[in-house]
Amino acid sequence: MQKLADEIGIVIAVCHFPPGTSKWNKIEHCMFSFISMNWRGKPLSSYEMIIKLIGSTKTKKGLEIQARLDERDYERGMKIADEDMERLKIRLHELYPKWNYSLEPRTTASVSEEIV
């Protein structure tokens, strides 16, 4: 993302939800109850069964869910070298700085300071 900020010359705001807080996302919160009702009483015996049950969920207003299993392997415990971190132009946000920050372009061109 730092490379993108550098290339396009704008600030990129990054906001993460802390773990276990997906209910902050209004759409996920709305759909969770429908998913639960859809698989009520059904054994969750395989990933295929879970994906089918989630993917067949719809609300009365017509909102549908698309689901797929992500089978990629993700490296755990990746370490970023201190030198690499120092090259990033990160500005922590005042509200929840662990989860919210901006990457500013490393160029000398003038950039809006406003957080998007």
User: What was the pLDDT predicted at 85?
Assistant: 92
- For residues 52-63, average pLDDT: 84
- For residues 44-72, average pLDDT: 86
| Count of the separate structural domains present in the chain | 1
pTM (2 d.p.) = 0.49
User: What was the pLDDT predicted at 116?
Assistant: 44
- For residues 28-37, average pLDDT: 74
- Is the residue at 73 inside a domain? yes
- Is the residue at 113 inside a domain? no
- For residues 58-78, average pLDDT: 85
- Is the residue at 110 inside a domain? no
- Is the residue at 46 inside a domain? yes
- For residues 3-18, average pLDDT: 90
- Is the residue at 23 inside a domain? yes
- Is the residue at 109 inside a domain? no
Burial code (b: 16+ CB inside 10 Å, e: under 16) for 65-77 equals beeeeeeeeeeee
Whether the per-residue pLDDT at 110 is higher than 50: the answer is no
User: What was the pLDDT predicted at 102?
Assistant: 96
- Is the residue at 115 inside a domain? no
pLDDT > 70: what percent of the chain? 81
DSSP assignment of 25-85 equals: SHHHHHHHHHHHHHTTT----SHHHHHHHHHT-B-TT--B-----------SS----HHHH
Range of the domain at 91: 2-103
- For residues 69-78, average pLDDT: 87
Higher pLDDT, 24 or 4: 4
